[in-house]
């Protein structure tokens, strides 16, 4: 049976597609792509159908990760499908719980960060450097997430 993880941010064009692509690469490296399903979504609707932010695409490419896909909005009807819903910040956490997600399925990505819990900052309104900072936070949090997912 596959384990399913969904990454969620606000618009699904920066943080969650980066996390999705980075986690997909990590899962592939571990030879686990046949047992782990990965996707991403946003809590907001204004970016639905748009590609990832060009700054996120450039940042990921800088580290050898390819971003793809189109933004989509998380729906209440899909919550039961995911084993873990990984949000980027407190606002995303509150929104996902507000849709009816069980609290024992929802985690902040930085719950798995060896440097400590907190929010993954939204780089959208900042400089390109913020995207690199976001990338590094996601990167160091993913090993702990993979361990937690496999332990479920």
Q: Which residues are catalytic?
A: 9, 15, 122
Contact between 116 and 110 under an 8 Å Cβ cutoff? The reply is yes
- Residue 142 tokens read as 């993913």
Closest CA to 78 of 55, 46, 100: 100
CB atoms within 10 A of CB 77: 9
Measured in whole angstroms, how far is the alpha carbon of residue 53 from the centre of its chain? 14
- How far apart, in whole angstroms, are the C-alpha atoms of residue 139 and residue 41? 19
- In degrees, rounded to 5, the angle at the alpha carbon of residue 1 between the alpha carbons of residues 22 and 70 is 35
């Amino acid at each position: 049976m596959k384990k399913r993880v969904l990454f969620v941010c606000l618009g699904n064009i920066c943080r969650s597609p980066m996390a999705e692509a980075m986690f997909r690469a990590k899962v592939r490296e571990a030879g686990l792509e046949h047992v782990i399903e990965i996707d991403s979504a946003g809590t907001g609707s204004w970016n639905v159908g748009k590609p990832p932010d060009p700054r996120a695409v450039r940042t990921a490419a800088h580290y050898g990760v390819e971003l793809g896909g189109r933004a989509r909005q998380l729906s209440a009807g899909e919550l039961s499908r995911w084993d873990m819903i990984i949000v980027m910040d407190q606002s995303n956490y509150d929104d996902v719980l507000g849709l009816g997600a069980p609290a024992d399925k929802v985690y902040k990505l930085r719950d798995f960060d060896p440097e400590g819990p907190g929010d993954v900052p939204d780089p959208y309104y900042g400089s390109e450097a913020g995207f690199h900072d976001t990338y590094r936070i996601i990167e160091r949090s993913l090993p702990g997430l993979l361990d937690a997912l496999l332990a479920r």
